Chain A
Amino acid sequence: MNRFISAALLAAISTAVSGAAFGDTIKVGVIAPFSGPFAIYGKQYQEAIETYVAQNGSSAGEHEIEFIYKDVGGPNPDQSRSLAQELLIRDQVDYLAGFTFTPNALAVAPLIEQSQTPTVIFNAATSSINKESDFYLRTSYTLWQVSAPLAEWAYDQGMQTAATTVTDYGPGIDAENAFKAAFEAKGGKVVDAIRMPLSTTDFTPFIQRVRDAAPDAVFTFLPGGPPTFTYTKTYNENGLADAGIKFLGTAETEEVNLQGLGDDAIGLTTAYHYSGDHDSEANAAFKSKLNELFPDAVANWASVGAYDGTHLIYQMVEAAGSDGPAAVQSALGLEWESPRGPVSMDPEARTLVQNVYIREVERDAQTGELVNREQGIIATVGDLGWTQ
Chain B
Amino acid sequence: MTLFLNIAVDGIAYGMILFMISVGLSVTMGLMRVVNLAHGGFALLGGTFAHWFGQELGLPFWPAALLAIVATIAVSLPLERLIYRRIYGFGDLQQVLATIGLTFLMIASVNLWQGSSLLSIPLPDSLKQSVDLGFRTLPVHRLVVIAAGLVSILGLWLLLDRTLFGIRLRAAVDNRGTASALGIDTDWIFMAAFGLGAGLAALGGILGAEILPIDAYYPVRYMVLFLIVVAVGGMGSISGSFVAALGLGTLETATRYLVPDYATIVFFTFVIILLALRPQGLLGKAHA
Contacting pair B118 A226 (CB below 8 A): yes
Contact B10 A206 (CB under 8 A): no
> A262 an interface residue at 8 Å Cβ cutoff?
yes
Does B139 touch A at the CB level, under 8 Å? yes
Is the Cβ of B17 less than 8 Å from the Cβ of A202? yes
Interface-facing stretch out of A61-69, A189-197, A321-329: A189-197
Report yes or no: B118 in contact with A206, Cβ–Cβ below 8 A: no
A233 to B17, CA, bound (A): 16
The answer, yes or no, to whether B120 is at the interface (CB within 8 Å) is: yes
Docked Cα-Cα span, A239 to B135, in Å, equals 13
In contact, B116 and A205 (Cβ under 8 angstroms): no
Q: Could you tell me if B118 and A261 are in contact, using CB atoms closer than 8 angstroms?
A: yes
Shortest Cβ distance from A163 into chain B, in angstroms? 12
Task: Say whether A230 contacts B257, CB under 8 Å.
Answer: no
Q: Within the complex, what minimum Cβ distance (angstroms) separates A204 from chain B?
A: 5
Report, as a range, how many residues of chain A touch the other chain.
20 to 34
Q: In B101-140, which residues have CB < 8 Å from any A CB?
A: 115-120, 122, 128, 130, 136-137, 139
Write the B1-39 contact mask toward A (1 if CB under 8 angstroms, else 0).
Answer: 010001100100110010000000000000000000000
B221 at the interface (CB under 8 A from A): yes
Q: Does any Cβ of B come within 8 Å of A133's Cβ?
A: no
Q: In the complex the two chains form, what is the Cα distance from A206 to B116 in whole Å?
A: 28
Contact of A208 with B by CB under 8 A: yes
Residues of B contacting A198 with CB < 8 Å? 264
Within the complex, the shortest CB–CB distance from A88 to chain B, in Å, comes to 30
Q: Is there a chain A Cβ closer than 8 Å to B63's Cβ?
A: no
Let me know if B80 is at the binding interface, CB within 8 A: no
Known pairs A37-B217, A202-B211; A194 contacts B260 (CB<8 A): yes
Q: A206 contacts which chain B residues (CB < 8 A)?
A: 256, 260
Residue in A37, A237, A262 whose CB lies within 8 Å of B120: A262
Q: Are B118 and A260 touching (Cβ within 8 A)?
A: yes
Q: Which residues of B, 123-166, contact A by the 8 Å Cβ criterion?
A: 128, 130, 136-137, 139
Considering only residues 145-199 of chain A, those with a C-beta below 8 Å from chain B are 168, 194-199
- Selected from B14, B217, B261, the residue in CB contact (under 8 A) with A204 is B14
Asked whether any CB of chain A lies closer than 8 Å to the CB of B225, the reply is yes
Smallest beta-carbon distance A215→chain B, Å: 16
Q: Kindly state whether residue A367 has any CB partner on chain B within 8 Å.
A: no
Given the complex of chains A and B, what is the CA–CA distance between A197 and B263 in angstroms?
7
Instruction: Say whether A256 contacts B217, CB under 8 Å.
Output: no
Whether, in the assembled complex, A315 has its beta carbon less than 8 Å from a beta carbon of chain B, the answer is no
A239:B130 contact, CB within 8 angstroms:
yes
Closest to B129 in A: A237
- Contact between chains at B115 and A205 (CB < 8 Å): no
* Nearest Cβ on chain A to B242's Cβ, whole angstroms: 18
Docked-complex contact A260 and B260, CB < 8 angstroms = no
Instruction: Find out whether the CB atom of B118 lies under 8 angstroms from the CB atom of A237.
Output: no
Question: Which residue of chain B is the closest to A202 with respect to CB atoms?
Answer: B14
Chain B CB count within 10 A is highest, among A39, A198, A201, A209, for A201
Most buried by B among A40, A194, A199, A230: A199
Q: Complex Cα distance A388/B173, Å?
A: 63
Partner of B261, one of A168, A233, A259, A261: A168
Contacts of A233 in B (CB 8 A): 210
In the complex, what distance in Å separates the CA atom of A26 from the CA atom of B284? 64
Contact residues in A for B13 (Cβ distance below 8 Å):
204
A204:B137 contact, CB within 8 angstroms: no
Residues of chain A lying within 8 A (CB to CB) of residue B247: none
Asked whether, in the complex, the Cβ of A40 is within 8 Å of the Cβ of B117, the reply is yes
In contact, A204 and B130 (Cβ under 8 angstroms): no
Question: Once bound together, how far apart are the Cα atoms of A39 and B116, in whole Å?
Answer: 8
For A264, the closest partner residue in chain B by CB is: B128
Tell whether A237 pairs with B130 under 8 Å between CB atoms, given A225-B215, A257-B118: yes
Q: Does B171 contact A (CB under 8 A)?
A: no
Interface residues of B in 195-245 (CB under 8 A from A): 210-213, 215, 217, 220-222, 225
Given A237-B139, A262-B120: A205 and B260 interface contact (C-beta under 8 Å): yes
Given the contacts A195-B260, A230-B211, A296-B115, A202 and B120 also touching, CB distance less than 8 Å: no
Contact B210 A208 (CB under 8 A): no
Find chain A residues with CB under 8 A from B221 CB: 37, 226
State whether B120 touches A208 (Cβ < 8 A). no
* A229 interface contact, C-beta 8 A: yes
How many Å from the CB of B175 to the closest CB on chain A? Answer: 39
A254 to chain B: closest CB distance in Å? 10
Instruction: Compute how far the CA of A216 lies from the CA of B70 in the bound complex, rounded to whole angstroms.
Output: 47
**Does A56 have its Cβ within 8 Å of any Cβ on chain B?**
no
Whether A230 contacts B213 by the Cβ 8 Å rule is yes
Please tell me if the beta carbons of A202 and B10 are within 8 angstroms of each other in the complex: yes
| Contact present for B260 and A196 (CB under 8 Å) | yes
Query: Which of A200, A202, A208, A256 counts the most B-chain CB atoms under 10 A from its CB?
Result: A202
- Complexed CA–CA distance, A230 and B118 (Å): 11
- Asked if A128 CB lies within 8 Å of chain B CBs, one says no
**Chain A's nearest CB lies how many Å from the CB of B11?**
9
Q: Is B253 an interface residue (CB 8 A)?
A: yes
Q: Tell yes or no: A82 within 8 A of B by CB.
A: no
**Cβ distance B217 to chain A, nearest Cβ, rounded Å:** 4
A205 touches B118 (CB 8 A): no
Contacts A208-B10, A230-B211, A239-B137; A197 near B264 (Cβ below 8 A): yes
Residues of B within 8 A of A196 (CB): 256, 260
Is B257 a contact partner of A209 (Cβ separation < 8 A)?
A: yes
CB distance from B228 to the nearest CB of A (A): 11
B10 touches A204 (CB 8 A): yes
Chain B residues with CB under 8 Å of A194's CB are: 260
Report the Cα distance A260→B215, complex, angstroms.
10
Binding site for A on B (CB under 8 A): 2, 6-7, 10, 13-14, 17, 115-120, 122, 128, 130, 136-137, 139, 210-213, 215, 217, 220-222, 225, 252-253, 256-257, 260-261, 263-264
Instruction: Offer 7 A-B interface pairs, CB within 8 angstroms, sorted by A.
Output: A37-B217, A196-B256, A197-B260, A202-B10, A229-B120, A233-B210, A260-B120
Closest 8 CB pairs of A and B: A260-B118, A205-B256, A197-B264, A237-B139, A229-B213, A37-B217, A205-B257, A202-B14
New contact pairs (5) apart from A257-B117, A296-B115, CB-CB < 8 Å: A37-B217, A168-B261, A205-B253, A229-B118, A233-B210
